[in-house]
Amino acid sequence: MNNQTIYCKEPLGERHGIPYFSTADFYVDNYEKISKDHMDVFEKEGKNPNIGEELWVKLEDSTAALLNKYTQPGEKILDVGVGLGRLLSRFDHLQRYGMDISWDYLEHTKKTGIEVCFSRIEDMPYCKEFFDVITCTDVLEHVLDLNLALTKILEVLKPGGILIVRVPYRENLKLYLESYYPYRYAHLRNFDEYGLELLFTRVFNCQFLEAQTAGYLESFRSLKFMLPIPRWVRITEMICSVSKALSSSLYNKVLRALYYPIDINVVVRKAG
């Protein structure tokens, strides 16, 4: 497919084969810094400084399961705020597109075969009603104007198309106000299932298909800072499997007591 059928406007230019539709400003610079710090640690230590690999994969699994349910081979999918393209890397039977405002991420993601562009959501460059499915994971908590971002995203989704959003669930935002927090801002708002349903149905006139939290099982929460989380995750998993072997009602009680949601996925259908 050539650029004229993908984009509704001419790019401002091209860098390393990636078209760009936005220019640097205070917002873009902030995210350029976050992604650069991430990639520096990633290149040296092979990990993400902001989230453990085990939890990250769990969150991705939760969205991937929904994508498996709501996509058909060959459909056109856009990942808004594609990052390193990890989610889409699992779906090479789809026509994959990704947009972001980090050159470091985009250069990496392009190499994985995903068609990428540099653009803020607010400068959405794609043709109207172009995509069958859109994903947007861990991005909407960052944007300056949530309603504008969603308006732009929904414009490029086909009528009847599926939007899957994953955002932090009832997060305590205090960290982002601390003087030691290294960035001007990262997460700017909080979400829960009721607010998301109201937003998508009452404001954006979408059909709300489902909501699912994603998180991990955790025991001894107060001790979690003393030892790395994965250790506690394993202990918790052991408690779960023992209780499961003993009785299903005990297992359900254990699950309820130990489950700690981090993110929530919601699936909505754009009005047809």
Ligand X SMILES: C[S@@+](CC[C@H](N)C(=O)[O-])C[C@H]1O[C@@H](n2cnc3c(N)ncnc32)[C@H](O)[C@@H]1O
Residues near ligand X, by CB under 6 A: 31, 35, 81-83, 86, 99-102, 105, 120-121, 137-139, 142-143
Q: Kindly give, in sequence order, each residue whose CB lies less than 8 Å from that of residue 91, ignoring residues fewer than 6 positions away.
A: 64, 67, 71, 77
The residue (of 88 and 206) whose beta carbon lies closer to ligand X is: 88
> What is the residue type of 185?
Y
The residue (of 96 and 120) whose beta carbon lies closer to ligand X is: 120
Check: CB of residue 201 under 8 Å from CB of residue 208: yes
- Closest distance of CB 36 from ligand X, Å: 11
The residue (of 41 and 235) whose beta carbon lies closer to ligand X is: 41
The residue (of 71 and 137) whose beta carbon lies closer to ligand X is: 137
- Closest distance of CB 78 from ligand X, Å: 11
Torsion angles phi and psi, residue 259, rounded to 5: -70, 130
- Closest distance of CB 267 from ligand X, Å: 16
> What are the angstrom distances between the C-alpha of 257 and each of 236, 250, 254, 260?
11, 11, 5, 9
Between CA 195 and CA 37 the distance in angstroms is 32
Between CA 67 and CA 132 the distance in angstroms is 12
Torsion angles phi and psi, residue 55, rounded to 5: -70, -40
- Closest distance of CB 261 from ligand X, Å: 16
- Closest distance of CB 66 from ligand X, Å: 13
The residue (of 24 and 242) whose beta carbon lies closer to ligand X is: 24
Between CA 96 and CA 154 the distance in angstroms is 17
